[in-house]
Homo-oligomer: A and B are copies of this chain.
Amino acid sequence: MSSPSASSAVRLAAETWESLFRSQVAVMRKLQSGPAFKSLPVKEYDVLFTLSRCPSGQLRLNEINDKVLLSQSSLSRLVDRLEKRGLVERTTAPDDGRGVLLSLTESGSELQKTIGREHVRDIAQLVGPALTVEEQRELLRLTEKLRASVAGHQPTHG
Which residues of chain B are within 8 angstroms of A127 by Cβ–Cβ distance?
13, 16-17, 146
A54 interfacial by beta-carbon distance below 8 Å: no
- Cβ distance A49 to chain B, nearest Cβ, rounded Å: 9
Are A20's CB and B22's CB within 8 A?
Answer: no
Listed from nearest, the 4 A-B pairs whose CB atoms lie closest are A130-B149, A23-B147, A13-B127, A23-B143
A28 interfacial by beta-carbon distance below 8 Å: yes
Are B123's CB and A14's CB within 8 A?
Answer: yes
Q: Tally chain A residues at the interface, Cβ within 8 Å.
A: 61
Are A24's CB and B20's CB within 8 A?
Answer: yes
Stretch at the interface among A29-37, A86-94, A101-109: A29-37
Contact bitstring A1-45, B, C-beta under 8 A = 1, else 0: 000000001111111110111111111111001110000000000
Q: Which residue of B lies closest to A135 (CB)?
A: B142
A17-B123, A142-B131, A147-B19 as given contacts; A12 in contact with B153, CB under 8 Å: no
- Cβ distance A8 to chain B, nearest Cβ, rounded Å: 9
Q: Please tell me how many copies of the chain the complex holds.
A: 2
A12-B133, A136-B12, A143-B20 as given contacts; A26 in contact with B123, CB under 8 Å: no
- A55 vs B156: C-alpha distance in the bound complex, in angstroms? 34
Are A150's CB and B128's CB within 8 A?
Answer: no
Q: Which residue of B lies closest to A122 (CB)?
A: B157
Q: Which residue of B lies closest to A68 (CB)?
A: B25
Which residues of chain B are within 8 angstroms of A131 by Cβ–Cβ distance?
16, 142, 145-146, 149
- Cβ distance A67 to chain B, nearest Cβ, rounded Å: 6
